[in-house]
């Protein structure tokens, strides 16, 4: 039995716990944020948490109007640059709260006048102690090296932080996300049959745009660390500017295709890929795609694009864990990896 699969299945419960605690904790932060004049948001993270940070960038800019940048830790840890950070909100994201460079960046930014927020799964971590405000993922102990429940928990907390910063994100919609995650888990049996086709896959590309772009990075990371697949990840716009030249009949592509502003462009790209006889696998909740997709992971329910990232990544997580099993690999113990990685 796979620990990774067990932890994927725990996500609805984890998300409900995270929402209850996070909703309580975010109330005073919303009052504080309404009195503050945050002109820019900076986010620092590594690994899977860095993919959550990418989602946060799209979410905050789309819903709050505040510009967002992802911090390059080496600017602080290696180049020792002095940045002017008054009126800056700096958010650190870390599953363990012990990432050396992430915490060094938070310390540096705090010393330069920024207000610091931490998002972590560990209440007793260094991150939780050093930031001005901490929001906790309620995932409990995550035993598999490949993070799953902490990633979706981080995404859920980013919705709450966006709400605190003034985003029009109704609580009842965010509260519904754990139910969408539970429904997505019903796809496990279908995905288990599907992965047999990809059993000998050793390279692929994962493509998305907008709010699901982070999921392209996250699914690619999961495929690399659990199944040792060389998984490139692209924005659908960037993919047309060169990388599409590598596509042929034997090259697999996985596309995230939510409804909303990105859908039309992704449909055009899908038609182009089909004309090239590409091996395409689509993850979507748009039912009409049944007519045009040979391989479709259809996420149940009618979901607005804004709320698709969590229920869309769960089928991706299942695909990665089940593919590793089909390949005879152990997704819980990837070679050369450990749960906490310390870099500076």
Q: What is the layout of strands, in order, in the sheet containing 230-235?
A: 230-235, 203-208, 252-256, 279-284, 296-298
Fold of the domain built from segment(s) 181-326: Rossmann fold (3.40.50)
Rounded Cα distance between 61 and 67, Å, is: 6
Q: To which residue do tokens 């060389």 refer?
A: 230
Q: To which residue do tokens 């598999």 refer?
A: 144
**Percent of the chain predicted with pLDDT > 90:** 82
- As beta bridge partners, residue 297 has 283
275 contact partners, CB below 8 Å, separation of at least 6: none
The whole-number pLDDT of residue 343 equals 58
The whole-number pLDDT of residue 79 equals 82
The whole-number pLDDT of residue 242 equals 73
3-state DSSP assignment of residue 119: strand
Domain 3-175, CATH homologous superfamily name and number: Glucose-6-phosphate isomerase like protein; domain 1 (3.40.50.10490)
Report whether 130 contacts 116 (CB < 8 A). Answer: yes
pLDDT band at 344 (very low <50, low <70, confident <90, very high): low
Burial readout 292-307 (b: 16 or more C-beta within 10 A, e: otherwise): ebeebbbbeeebebbb
| Out of 59-63, 174-178, 266-270, 329-333, least confident range | 329-333
Kindly write down the DSSP assignment for every residue of 7-24, as one continuous string: HHHTHHHHHHHHHHHHHH
Report whether 247 contacts 94 (CB < 8 A). Answer: no
The whole-number pLDDT of residue 342 equals 54
Segment 190-194 shows an average pLDDT of 96
pLDDT band at 124 (very low <50, low <70, confident <90, very high): very high
The whole-number pLDDT of residue 326 equals 95
Segment 202-222 shows an average pLDDT of 97
- Calculate the average pLDDT of the chain: 93
Strand 279-284 with 252-256, pairing: parallel
On the question of pLDDT at 42 being above 70, the answer is yes
15 contact partners, CB below 8 Å, separation of at least 6: 152, 153, 156, 177, 178, 181, 310
The whole-number pLDDT of residue 341 equals 56
pLDDT tens-place string over residues 74-111:
888 788 787 889 899 999 999 999 999 999 999 999 99
Could you give the C-alpha distances from 79 to 74, 102, 344, in angstroms and in order?
6, 15, 11
The whole-number pLDDT of residue 221 equals 97
On the question of pLDDT at 336 being above 70, the answer is no
Rounded Cα distance between 331 and 31, Å, is: 43
Could you give the C-alpha distances from 164 to 18, 26, 34, 59, 178, in angstroms and in order?
16, 7, 8, 13, 20
The whole-number pLDDT of residue 340 equals 53
Report whether 316 contacts 257 (CB < 8 A). Answer: no
Where along the chain do its domains lie? 3-175, 181-326
Tell me if 3-175 shares its fold with 181-326: yes
Rounded Cα distance between 285 and 313, Å, is: 12
Q: To which residue do tokens 């799953």 refer?
A: 148
Q: Which residue would you say has higher pLDDT here, 339 or 183?
A: 183
On the question of pLDDT at 338 being above 70, the answer is no
The whole-number pLDDT of residue 292 equals 87
Segment 146-155 shows an average pLDDT of 97
| Out of 2-6, 41-45, 239-243, 278-282, least confident range | 239-243
The whole-number pLDDT of residue 22 equals 98
Rounded Cα distance between 304 and 172, Å, is: 13
């Amino acid at each position: 039995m796979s620990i990774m699969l067990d932890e994927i299945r725990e996500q609805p419960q984890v998300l409900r716990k995270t929402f209850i605690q996070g909703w309580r904790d975010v109330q005073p932060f919303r009052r504080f944020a309404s009195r503050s004049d945050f002109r820019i948001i900076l986010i620092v993270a590594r690994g899977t948490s860095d993919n959550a940070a990418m989602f946060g960038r799209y979410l905050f800019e789309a819903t709050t109007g505040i510009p967002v940048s992802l911090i390059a830790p080496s600017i602080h840890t290696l180049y020792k640059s002095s940045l002017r950070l008054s009126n800056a909100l700096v958010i650190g994201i870390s599953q363990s709260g012990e990432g050396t460079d992430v915490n060094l960046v938070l310390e540096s930014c705090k010393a330069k006048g920024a207000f610091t927020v931490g998002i972590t799964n560990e209440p007793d971590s260094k991150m939780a102690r050093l930031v001005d405000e901490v929001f906790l993922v309620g995932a409990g102990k995550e035993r598999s090296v490949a993070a799953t429940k902490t990633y979706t928990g981080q995404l859920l907390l980013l919705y709450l932080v966006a709400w605190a910063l003034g985003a029009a994100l109704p609580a009842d919609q965010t509260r519904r996300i754990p139910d969408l995650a539970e429904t997505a888990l019903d796809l496990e049996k279908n995905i288990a049959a599907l992965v047999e086709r990809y059993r000998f896959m050793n390279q692929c590309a994962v493509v998305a745009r907008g709010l699901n772009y982070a999921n392209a990075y996250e699914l690619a990371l999961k495929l690399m660390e659990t199944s040792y697949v060389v998984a490139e990840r692209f924005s659908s716009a960037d993919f047309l500017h060169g990388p599409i030249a590598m596509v042929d009949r034997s090259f697999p592509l996985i596309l995230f295709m939510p409804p909303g502003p990105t859908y039309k462009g992704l449909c055009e790209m899908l038609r182009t890929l089909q004309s090239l006889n590409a091996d395409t696998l689509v993850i979507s909740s748009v039912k009409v795609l049944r007519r045009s997709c040979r391989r479709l992971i259809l996420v149940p329910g009618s979901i607005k694009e804004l709320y698709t990232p969590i229920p869309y990544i769960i089928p991706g997580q299942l695909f990665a864990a089940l593919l590793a099993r089909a390949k005879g690999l152990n997704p819980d113990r990837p070679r050369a990896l450990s749960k906490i990685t310390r870099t500076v």
